[in-house]
Amino acid sequence: MKAFIVYDSAFGNTKAVAETVAGQLEGLDAAAVPVDDFDSGALAAGDLLVVGSPINGWRPTPKVTELLSGFGQDQLKGVKAAAFDTRLRMFIHGDAAKKITRALRAGGADIIAEPMPFYVGGTKGPLRTGEIDKAGNWAKALLTSLGR
Ligand SMILES: Cc1cc2nc3c(=O)[nH]c(=O)nc-3n(C[C@H](O)[C@H](O)[C@H](O)COP(=O)(O)O)c2cc1C
């Protein structure tokens, strides 16, 4: 079973979360893959697809949105999936992970976890204290959802 942790990242924070998640998916053939390098043709039924994006203007980045809009209905049938975003701790921060989750579900994926936010201290980061540990724990929860 392969696991693709596909991410976009301007300043490295979403990348750090993606790499932590990939590193904690023990027993899976897992890799963190920049969205520019991801070939959705590599996905097979039974694989895990995790998509992560910074929130940019209340939504996922244009590159992540483009990836998601390229998934036809049922293209993700049989694929297990989950999403996360990185964001500021603000009164109104918008959302990316829920929107990504909705798009993955629309593509036919089997959603195995609630959308997960990770918090940065400023636009360029760093991730707030504890967020990398939270990413590791989230990866372990994904494994549990997969029955591993
Ligand atoms: C153009 C732009 C728009 C942003 N809009 C939001 C936003 O709507 N809500 C939010 O919480 N953070 C927003 N941010 C902050 C990003 O969430 C933050 O830069 C990101 O989490 C850093 O991740 P990265 O290092 O992977 O790029 C914005 C950042 C940029 C550069």
- Is the pLDDT at 12 greater than 90? The verdict is yes
Report the C-alpha dihedral over residues 115, 120, 125, 128, rounded to 10 degrees.
Answer: -120
From ligand 1's centre to the CA of 54, what distance in Å?
Answer: 5
Ligand 1 site residues (CB inside 6 A) read 9-15, 54-58, 86-88, 90, 93-94, 120, 123, 125
Place 27 in a pLDDT band, splitting at 50, 70 and 90: very high
Task: Kindly report the pTM of this predicted structure.
Answer: 0.98
pLDDT at res. 92: 86
From ligand 1's centre to the CA of 23, what distance in Å?
Answer: 24
Ligand 1 atom nearest the C-alpha of 12 is 25
- And the tokens for 24? 């904690």
Structural domain for 139, as ranges: 2-145
Domain total of the chain: 1
* Three-state SS sequence of the chain: CEEEEEECCCCCHHHHHHHHHHHHCCCCEEEEEEHHHCCHHHCCCCCEEEEEEECECCECCHHHHHHHHCCCCCCCCCCEEEEEEEEECCCCCCCCHHHHHHHHHHCCCEECCCCEEEEECCCCCCECCCHHHHHHHHHHHHHHHCCC
How do residues 64-89 score in pLDDT, each as one tens digit? 999 999 998 889 999 999 999 999 99
Report the C-alpha dihedral over residues 7, 12, 13, 14, rounded to 10 degrees.
Answer: 0
pLDDT at res. 31: 98
| Rounded to 5°, angle at Cα 128 from 92 and 80 | 80
Q: Rg of the chain's alpha carbons, rounded to an integer?
A: 14
Ligand 1 atom nearest the C-alpha of 59 is 8
From ligand 1's centre to the CA of 86, what distance in Å?
Answer: 7
Tell me if 76 sits within 8 A of 83, measured CB to CB: no
The CATH number that applies at residue 93 is 3.40.50.360
- Is the pLDDT at 90 greater than 90? The verdict is no
